[in-house]
Amino acid sequence: MNQATPPQPGADDRSPRLVRDLMTVGVQTCTTTTSLAELAQLLLEGGMGEVVVLDEGHGVGVVGPEQLLQAFARGGSLATLTAEDMMRAGVPTTPPDIPLEAAVQLMLDQGVRTLFLTHHVGGVEYPAASISARHILRLLAAQSPDELRDLGILAERESPIQTFLKRRDAAREKNANQSKAISNRGG
């Protein structure tokens, strides 16, 4: 069988070698009071795998599908559960400049599928990027480094202002549609 060999980390100048070469910039977050239903929606829509729980801007825990499934299996009143009730305490972190193999070993040692890269600003440590088992699987499955160009520190992405403007416009549109629906029912 003639099958192409996937790019190995460090195999050529464009192959990812370090965490920063393969990470995703941007992390889904929620507050400690976010409901189970809202968390499920974030996980379904976001595609990130896990959500970092913030308390006053600081990362205090992580919620992923496993935590939601555990809450569901326990039964009880799911409607009252919050991120704080379900989260895995602590945010597993990694520096951006370690080899990918070392990051994978950290995941295995800690029993997690995602590691986060954090920024420290004004006394607050917050998650800014992540690397996960999914990133490593994409690397292993890639037939060329070009298949990974959406990842890493050099990936093209929207500027923060572009992201803000899109979210603002989407929120305005949603509010306008809700107002129309209300006025149509009343009139």
In the chain, what are the domain boundaries? Answer: 19-156, 157-187
- Residue-level pLDDT at 108: 96
Average pLDDT for residues 141-170, to the nearest whole number? 72
Residue listed under structure tokens 């509010």: 175
3-state secondary structure of 97: coil
Residue listed under structure tokens 């990918």: 100
- The residues that bridge with 154 in the sheet, in sequence order, are none
Q: Whole-model pTM?
A: 0.72
Q: What is the mean pLDDT of the chain?
A: 82
3-state secondary structure of 101: helix
Name the token pair of 167.
């979210």
Q: What percentage of the chain exceeds 70 in pLDDT? A: 83
Name the token pair of 69.
């499934």
Q: What is the largest CA-CA distance in the chain?
A: 69
Nearest Cα neighbor of 107 from 129, 92, 128 is 92
Instruction: Give domain 19-156's CATH superfamily.
Output: CBS-domain (3.10.580.10)
Residue 151 near residue 24, CB atoms below 8 Å: yes
CA 103 from centroid of its chain's CA atoms: 16
pLDDT in tens, 48-83: 789 999 998 888 999 999 999 999 998 878 888 999
CA 53 from centroid of its chain's CA atoms: 11
